[in-house]
Amino acid sequence: MIRLVAVDMDGTFLSSTKDYNRERFAKIYKEMKERDIKFVVASGNQYYQLKSFFPEIAEEISFVAENGALVISEEEEMFCGRMSDDLVQDVIAFIKEHPEVFMILCGRKSAYTSEKEPEELIALGRSYYHRLEVVEEITNSIEDVFFKVATNVPVDETTHFLEFFNERFSGRLEAVSSGHGDIDLIIPGLHKANGLRILQEKWGVRSDEMVAFGDGGNDLEMLRHVKYSYAMENGSKESKEAASHIAPNNDEEGVLEILEQLLEIK
C-alpha cells in the first residue's frame, strides 16, 4: 500500500517550461488526499520558491527543500540544518578564488549573492530563489542560519568541480549535481532521503510504502531509500541505475502518468 509520494521538481515533476498540468494533478491529489497518501516536494530549490507552485495546497503538504537541509510539513518546521561559521567562511574564501564559479549562499531567511556576479546569472538565480538578496559582497557576517551553498560552474567542467569540491571539503561538505552546471554544497547526511526519514517518523510510514521520482545526482539517496523509485526517462545515467523503475519523460507528464497507474485513476 502506498502512503507517501515524493517528487523532485526540475526535470521531474516540472516540464521544460517550468510548470505542470495543474488540472490533471488536482485530480490525482484529490484521490491521494481521500486515501490519506502524503505528498512531499523534495527538491534542491528554496522553500519559498517551491511552495509558490502549490498555492492552493501548500499549507497541507510537505517540503524537503534545499536538498534536505530544510524540512517543513503542513507549515511546521521539522528540521533546519546549520553550517558552522568557520565552514561558511572557508567556502566563501575558496569560491572567491575561482571567479568562474557563481555562488548563492542559502540561509533560512533568504538566499544571498553578490552584485559583482553576472546579471544573467543573478536573474536565473531569482527564478529558483524567490527570496534572493543581492548584496555588495558575500561574507559570513550576514546574519542568518546557513545550510547550503549553491554554485553554477561551466557545464563542461561539472565533473571536475564535483571532484574538486568533494576533495577540498571532504568530510565537511558534499558536492551534488542537479545538472546544467549546477552544484550544491550540502552538509553530509542532509540529503533528500534524510528529509524523508524525518517525515516517516512523523507519520509512521515505512520505506516500502513510499514512491519517489527523480532525475539527477541529488536524487540518488532518495531513489535508493524507497521501494518504488522512478528515474525519469530524461534523467541521468546515475539516477536510472539507482531507481527500480523508469518513468516517461518529464515533458510527457511522466510523474502524473505513473501516479495515475499506481492509483488506478482513469
Which residues are annotated as catalytic?
8
Strands (E), the chain: 4-7, 38-42, 62-65, 70-73, 76-80, 102-107, 111-114, 132-135, 146-152, 174-179, 182-186, 210-214, 228-232, 245-247
Name residue, grid cell 558536492: 175
* Alpha carbon distance 63, 75 (integer Å): 9
